[in-house]
Structure 1
Amino acid sequence: MSHEARNLQWLLQNFVEEVHGVRSVAVVSSDGLLLLTSQTDQDPALARAPSGDRADLAAVVSGLASLTVGAAKLMDGGRVRQTTVAMADGALFVMSIRDGSLLGVHATADCDMSVIAYHMALFVGRAGHVLTPALRSELRQAMESAR
């Protein structure tokens, strides 16, 4: 992997390790393909989860983003910046990255939503200018070869 790809993976892993309540994180391309993923090692339930769960997160993130973009168009709401879904046993956050890609975060129910949103914004700010078409292509190929 290139230096930029390794740095992006490092940023994603730091996000998971440093932000309380984060279970897993995915960067998804604008066409719904998983580019990067990371998950915590501290959750025993996730340690037993099949690797397909990462692809599931990417699919949910892509679908939710598509739904909210459609809703925003219908309501003349402008560009969707962030979507938050609070559930009884967890939370899901989706934030747009400048190039059309998405950052999705699956978190525990006891997470501090404002802290997660803040760290997502930091990641998006750092990743937005780096996520070029060439890097997206490299990340896609790396995800495909890892399967």
Structure 2
Amino acid sequence: MDTAGVTALGLSDEARSLHWLLTDLVEEVPGVLSVAVVSSDGLLLLSSSPERTAPAGPAGAPQPCGARGTEGPRGSTADLATIVAGLGSLTTGAAALMDGGVVKQTMVAMDGGGLFVMTISDGSLLGVHTAPDCDMSIVAYQMALFVGRAGHVLTPELRRELRQSVEAVG
């Protein structure tokens, strides 16, 4: 991997930028409990769980996501990532059977919360678990902003870097 742009924390500027975008999504959108970005082959790339993100850096450096201390399904971002990957696969298969084209977004409304899954341009998925009282339109809008910003930088090299950082922490 080209090391140009790699920071003192061992992450490239692009990886740190995606961590910042994810942190912003979690902290700025009311009702968001947890977030996971999953690669097209189902591997966790980014999450809102502190134990699954970049290490805390010096003042001014991106801090781990999930500052609220809220937890996703069963408290595990790995569980959320598995659910997001499975739901993505299921809806892609359904769309193929129905000649529906590419799945852009999936929403599951439950008594105890919501699950939103949005496709990122490279086939990766953004999954968001929410509280039941969240404003779904705000969540969907903010997810679309994240996808728009992340989609053009999520290169194979960056996905590899993010996956390696998750494995190093996990």
Would you tell me which structure has more strand in proportion to its own residues? Answer: 1
Q: Distance in 2 between matches of 1:25 and 1:98?
A: 18
Give the 5 Å matches for 1:1-147: 1-39=11-49, 40-42=66-68, 46=71, 50=75, 53-147=76-170
Shift of 1:107: 0.3
Letter in 1 for 2:42: G
Checking the alignment, whether the CA contact within 8 Å between 2:115 and 2:128 is kept in structure 1 is yes
Q: CA deviation at 1:145?
A: 0.3
In structure 2, C-alpha distance between the alignment counterparts of 1:97 and 1:43, rounded to whole Å: 26
Alignment RMSD: 1.4
Partners of 1:34 and 1:42 in 2: CA distance: 21
TM-score scaled by length of structure 2: 0.81
1:36-76 deviations in whole A, cap 9, x for unaligned?
001544356x29x65xx111100000000000011111111
CA distance in 2, matches of 1:73, 1:30: 16
Q: From the two aligned structures, give the one with the greater helix fraction.
A: 1
Work out the CA distance in 1 between the residues paired with 2:94 and 2:12: 38
Query: After the TM superposition, which parts of structure 1 deviate over 4 Å for at least 4 consecutive aligned residues?
Result: none
Larger radius of gyration: 2
**What's the CA shift for 1:34?**
0.2
User: Structure 2: which 5+ runs fail to align?
Assistant: 1-10, 50-65
Cα distance change on mapping 1:33 and 1:77 into 2, 3 Å: same
Q: How many residues end up aligned between the 2 structures?
A: 143
Could you tell me how far apart the structure 2 residues matched to 1:42 and 1:13 are?
A: 10
TM-score with structure 1 setting the length:
0.93
- Identity of paired residues, percent? 66
CA distance in 1, matches of 2:125, 2:68: 25
Partner secondary structure for residue 119 of structure 1: helix
